[in-house]
Amino acid sequence: MFQTIITATVLYTATAVDLLVILLIFFARSSTKKEYRNIYIGQYLGSIILILVSLFLAFVLNYVPEKWMLGLLGIIPIYFGVKVALYDDCAGEKRAKKELDKKGLSKLIGTVALVTIASCGADNIGLFVPYFVSLNMSNLIVTLITFLVLIFVLVFTAQKIANIPGIGGTIEKYSRWIMAVIYIGLGMFIIIENKTIQTILEFLF
């Protein structure tokens, strides 16, 4: 169970680094308890929707007859990792600022949820689905509980550091490399865990 919690924490951290930068933008423009509360609700809403979509896809993929084929899903996070490293491909910060400029703080719950899904949805699903498929039911439940706790930790952290000069810029500067390493590492873990390379080599030789 401890290993599952650690792995889930590392996995969620990979998705949370970029979200942290986005949340810093929301908190920087907010000033009341109601606005802060709406950011928490919006982040939970957006994140839970992505988790539910990932669970559905993982459920469908569980019917794939050969386990080694599931390991091929590890290519998805590896692809995202290389893409982030080469192109710094995440426009979440720009999207957050654009939505705030257009809607202001009046519809903050929907804005935060929308930006979370639109900015990081593909990455999150691409990471969550292959990992969920590799888990048994007990480890999956532990992972989901860990995710729900970490969502709160993510938003709380963003709230506390939003007003510290230079922190947001530092996180943004190094976020792509943190994400790239974790994405690629997760992809390799999924491939190795499902013995995909070993099975392919046995077919060939």
CB-based contact 90:18 (threshold 8 Å): yes
Whole-angstrom Cα distance, residue 124 to residue 120?
6
CB-based contact 93:25 (threshold 8 Å): yes
Whole-angstrom Cα distance, residue 141 to residue 170?
34
Axis crossing angle, helix 108-133 with helix 75-87, rounded to the nearest 10:
130
pLDDT tens string 123-179: 777 778 878 887 888 989 999 999 999 999 999 988 888 777 666 556 656 666 766
Mean pLDDT of 116-123: 72
Whole-angstrom Cα distance, residue 78 to residue 138?
26
Mean pLDDT of 200-205: 67
pLDDT tens string 179-189: 677 777 777 87
How much is the pTM?
Answer: 0.70
> What's the pLDDT at 112?
85
